[in-house]
Structure 1
Amino acid sequence: MFFKPVYILILGFTIVIDYFAGIFIENAVGYKRKTFLIISLIANIGVLAIFKYYNFFIENINSFAPSPFLPYLSILLPIGLSFHTFQAMSYTIEVYRGNQKAERHFGIYALYVMFYPQLVAGPIERPQNVLYQFHIKHHFSYENVTNGLKLMAWGMFKKVVVGDHLAIMVDKVYNNPTQYEGLPLIIATVFFAFQIYCDFSGYSDIALGSAQVMGFKLMQNFDRPYFSKSISEFWRRWHISLSTWFRDYLYIPLGGSRVPYYRQLFNLFIVFMVSGLWHGASWNFIIWGALHGLLLVLARLRERFLPTLHLKANNLVAKIIHILIVFILVDFCWVFFRARTFADAKYIITHLFSNISLNSLKNVDFVRNNILLGESKQLFLVTVLSLVLMEIVHYFQRNLSIRSYLSTQNKWLRWGLYCLLISWILLFGAFEKPAQFIYFQF
C-alpha cells in the first residue's frame, strides 16, 4: 500500500476467496471438494500469473512473432506476492487433505495471510503451525521478549553490518561486469553468496524474533546452509519453508518416491525449474533452478551407480573438502541468480579466471578498485571480520543455540556481549546506503 494503496485489494481478493473455499471444501463431498480447491488455486495462481509473469510470457511470445501483437501491462509487482500467495495455497490444500480444519473466524484467517513479521519474505508458514496460535491468549513473557530481541539483533547484524556492506561491493561489479575480469569477479561472486544469505536469513531472524516477542513461534528458515556437505543437504538447510513447500505440494503430488526411479529424477528436475521461476520472471532464474535440479539429479545418479566414488565425510579434512565443493557449486549457480542478464552471467563465468596476476596486488589503485571494490580499507576489514565472526558463531551453533548458551552465563558476560553487538551494529551498519531486502522482490 505504501507504493500503491489499491494493491491491498489483491490481498483482500485472495483472502475472501480462500476463506470461503476452505469452508466449502470442508463441507462438500465427492468431486465438489476438488472443484472448490481448484477454484482457490486458480485464483491464487492467476494473481501471480498476471502481476509477476504476464509481461515475461508476453515478451517471449512476441519475440517469436513477426511483429509484437500482445500488449504489455504497466504494473508494479506487489512486494512479497509469492510468499503470501503460497501461504494461502497451503491453507486450502491442507483443508482439502483433511490435515487442517477450516477457519471460521474471518479475522483470524486474514491474520494468517497477513501476519506482518513474515508477510513479505516468509517463512512460508503452514496453517497447522500458526492458525491455532492466533486463538491463544498471549500473556507477557520476559523470556519470549528477551529471546526475540536477541534474535532480532542478530538478524540486524547480519543484514546491515555484513549483508549491506557486501551489497555495495557486489553491486559495483555485477552492475557493470564487463568493466572487470579475474579477481574482482571472483571476489564479488563469493561475496554475493554471503550477501544473499545475510540479507535473507537476517530478515528471517528479525521475523522470527519479532513474532517471538509477541509470543508466536514461526518455523526455522535457515540452518547454517554453507556448512552443507552435499547439494541435497544444502536444500534441507536453505529457505527451508520454500523447499519443504515444493516437496509437500509439488514433488510428492507428482509421485514422490512412489514412481519409477527415472521419473523421480525428472520430477526433481521439474520442481527446481519451477522453484527458479518462483524466484522471478526471468530466464536467469529458470537457469539457476535448472542447474540446482541438474546437480541434485547427478548426485542421486552418482549415489546409485558410483557409490565407491563417494568420499565419506568421516574426518575433518573430508568434511572441509565436501563443504568447499558444495559452496563452489552453489556459488557458481548464484552467478545466474545475481546477474542482470544472461549475457552478463556468461561474461562473468568466462572471465572469472582471466588476467589474474599476483603482481597487480602491489598496485595501490588496483587493490582499491579490484580487491576492496570501492570500500575503504577499514570498512572492508570490518565487513570481512564480521563475516568471519558470524561463521564462527554458526560453527559453534551446530550443537547448541548461542541464545541458549548465553542464558547459562553470568549477567556481566551476557550484557557485555549484548552491548558489543548493538554497538557494532550502530557503528558499522550501512545506514547511509540502506539496501532493500533481496527477497522482497519475490
Structure 2
Amino acid sequence: MEITSFAFLLFLGIIAIIYYILPQKVRWVALLSANIIFIFLNNSIWADIIMTVMMSIAFLSGIFLDRFSQINARKKIMIIGVVIEAGCLFVLKEGIFLNHFTSPFGLEIPMDILRTFAPLGVSYFSLTLISYILEAYWKTQPVQKNFFKFVTYSSFFPTLVSGPIMKYTECQETIISSHNLRYQNISFGAQRILWGFFKKLVVSERLAVLVNYIYEDPITYHGLYLWMAAAAFTLQLYCDFSGCIDIIMGASQLFGITLPENFDVPFSAKTTAEFWRRWHITLGAWLKSYIFYPIIKADLVQKIGISAKKCFGKKTGKKIPSWIGLCFTWALIGLWHGGSFNYIWGVGIWFGIIIIMSEAFEPVLKKITLLLSINTECFSWNLFQNIRTFIIFIIGLAAFRAGSWTNTKIVYVNALSEFNPWIFWDGSFLKMGLTQLDYNIITISLLTIIISGIIKIQKNIDVREWIAKQNLFFRWIIWIFLFVIVLVYGKYGEGYSAADFIYKGF
C-alpha cells in the first residue's frame, strides 16, 4: 500500500474516523489496529514474524532493565538487546556488504531471500527499538510495561515508510496519549499531505525521468550533463524524501500526533555541517546521541585526545576525539544507506572528510578572509556559501545515485572530461523524456518550494500558519490551486500510484 495511493488515503480516513469515535482511553487501540493491518499488507509472513520478534526483544529488554538494579546485570541486558537488534538490521539490510567477505569462501547470502525476510522500513524501525533499549538502560524515562502500547509506539504505521526515526523520550507519549478532535489538526494535516503529494508527484517524478535517462548510461555522457544530472537528482531526492515526510507528518497530525521534523530548509545551509543538521535531522540526532557522544567519551578516545594535546597543541588536540567520533559516525551513515562502497563513500566518508577538513582549516580560512577584506555578512558571501555547500552535496550524491563504485568512478571522470555549456540551449535536454512544459512545471514548482522556505526562514513560521493568517478567499484559492495542480500535473504510475519513494528502500 503506497502512501501516495488512493487506498492509503481511504485507509487513513477510516482509521481517523474510528480513532475519534472511540472513547479517549482506548483510542490508541485504533492506531495499534492500523499498525497491524498496514504491516500485514506490506510485509511477507516471515517479515511479520521477524518484526514481532524484534519488538518482543526490545520490550523484554526494557522490562528486565527496569527490574534489575545491579550495574553489571543491566549492562549485559542492554548489550544483548542492542546486539540482537543491530544484528538483525545488519544482516537484513547489509547483505551486499556481507557478501564482500563471504563470497571468496563460496558463501553468498541470496538477496531475494533477504528481501523476503526484511520488514518494511527495517532501518528506521530497528533504530527506534535500539533507542528504546538505550533510553531504558540510562533511565531517562519509565519503561513501557504494556506490550500492546509498546507495539503501537514502535511500529506507528506512517513512520515505517521513511521515518522519521523516533526516540522513545520524544514520541512515546504523543503516540499513546489520546488527542481531542481539533479542526486545526485535520486542516493542517490534510494541507501537509497535499504539499507532500505536490513535491512527490509533480516535481520528484518529473526530475526522475531526466536523472534516470542519464544515469542509466553514464559512459555516454560527459561534462555538464553529469553535473546537471547530479543537481537534478539532489532536488529529486529532496522532493521525494521531504515529500514523503510531509505525508507522514500530515497523516500523524490528523490524529493530533506531533513527530520530530526531518528537514529544516537544508539548502539554506552555509556549511556541510549545518546542511546535515537540516537534512535527515532524526538520523543525525540518533547517531549523535547513541554513536558519536559515546565514542568521544570512551576512555581510549579520551586518552588519545590527551596525547594529541601534547603532540599538536591544545587547540588541535582538543578536536582529535571529535574527529575520531566523526570518522566512525560518517562511516556508519554511509553503511546505513547501503553495503556498496558508493554509498559508504557518497553519503558517508566524503562528508566526514569535508567536515573534518573545514574544522581543521577554519583558522587559516578566517585569516584569508580578513586578508582579502571579504565582507562575510553580505548577501553575495552568503550566496557563495550556499552554492559551495550545494556543490559539495551533489558530489556525494552523484556516488549515491551511480548504483555501484564502478559507475561512480565513471561519473566522476566523465564529469570533469568536458565543458559543454551549449547543451543548455541546443535542445539536448528535450530529448531525454521531458517536454518544455515539464521543464516549466519543474521550474515554477521549485520556485514555489523556495518561496515557502524563504517564508519559513524570514517569518520563523510554518507556511501553513502564515497562509492561515490570510483572508479566507486567499487561503482557499491557494489550497484549491495546489490540489488542481497535483490532480492535473501529477505523474502517476500504474493504478494511480506513484513510484516507490527512494528512502522507502532503507
User: Which bin holds the TM-score, normalised by the shorter protein?
Assistant: over 0.9
Q: Which of residues 116, 133, 138 in structure 2 aligns to 1:97?
A: 138
SS of 2:219's partner is helix
Question: Do structure 1's residue 428 and structure 2's residue 489 form an aligned pair?
Answer: yes
Instruction: Tell me what 1:439 maps to.
Output: 503
Between the aligned residues of both structures, percent identity stands at 28
Instruction: Tell me what 1:249 maps to.
Output: 290
Question: Do structure 1's residue 182 and structure 2's residue 223 form an aligned pair?
Answer: yes
TM-score by length of 2: 0.82
Q: Is the 8 A contact 2:203 2:442 kept in 1?
A: yes
How many Å separate the matches in 2 of 1:44 and 1:105?
20
1:272-312 superposed Cα distances (whole Å, 9 cap, x missing partner): 01110011111111112000000110111122554324666
1:345-360 to 2 correspondence within 5 Å?
A: 345-359=408-422
How many Å separate the matches in 1 of 2:423 and 2:178?
64
Letter in 2 for 1:80: G
Q: What is the CA distance between 1:376 and its match in structure 2?
A: 1.1
Q: What is the CA distance between 1:185 and its match in structure 2?
A: 1.4
Q: What is the CA distance between 1:156 and its match in structure 2?
A: 1.1
Bigger mean CA offset, 296-305 vs 140-149: 296-305
Q: 1:367 to 1:36 in 2, by over 3 A?
A: closer
Q: What is the CA distance between 1:235 and its match in structure 2?
A: 1.0
Q: 1:362 to 1:231 in 2, by over 3 A?
A: closer
Q: Which of residues 75, 79, 98 in structure 1 aligns to 2:114?
A: 75
Question: Do structure 1's residue 212 and structure 2's residue 253 form an aligned pair?
Answer: yes
Instruction: Tell me what 2:327 maps to.
Output: 269
Instruction: Tell me what 2:342 maps to.
Output: 284
How many Å separate the matches in 2 of 1:14 and 1:23?
14
Structure 2: tracts of 5 or more residues without a match: 1-39, 306-318
Q: Is the 8 A contact 2:196 2:245 kept in 1?
A: yes
SS of 1:351's partner is helix
Structure 1: tracts of 5 or more residues without a match: none
Bigger mean CA offset, 121-130 vs 301-310: 301-310
Which contiguous aligned blocks of 4+ residues in structure 1 show a shift greater than 4 angstroms? Answer: 358-364
Greater helix share, structure number: 2
1:66-108 superposed Cα distances (whole Å, 9 cap, x missing partner): xx42242332143311100000110110111111211011111
Letter in 2 for 1:368: L
Instruction: Tell me what 1:140 maps to.
Output: 181
Q: What is the CA distance between 1:360 and its match in structure 2?
A: 5.4
TM-score by length of 1: 0.94
SS of 2:209's partner is helix
1:13-92 to 2 correspondence within 5 Å?
A: 13-29=53-69, 30-62=71-103, 65=104, 68-73=105-110, 74-76=113-115, 77-92=118-133
Q: What is the CA distance between 1:362 and its match in structure 2?
A: 5.9
SS of 1:223's partner is coil
Instruction: Tell me what 1:224 maps to.
Output: 265
**Once superposed, what is the RMSD of the aligned Cα atoms?**
1.9
How many Å separate the matches in 1 of 2:250 and 2:489?
22
Instruction: Tell me what 2:400 maps to.
Output: 337
Letter in 1 for 2:114: I
Q: Is the 8 A contact 1:147 1:403 kept in 2?
A: yes
How many Å separate the matches in 2 of 1:360 and 1:405?
40
Q: Is the 8 A contact 1:113 1:119 kept in 2?
A: no
Q: What is the CA distance between 1:368 and its match in structure 2?
A: 2.0
Instruction: Tell me what 2:214 maps to.
Output: 173
Q: Is the 8 A contact 1:175 1:340 kept in 2?
A: no
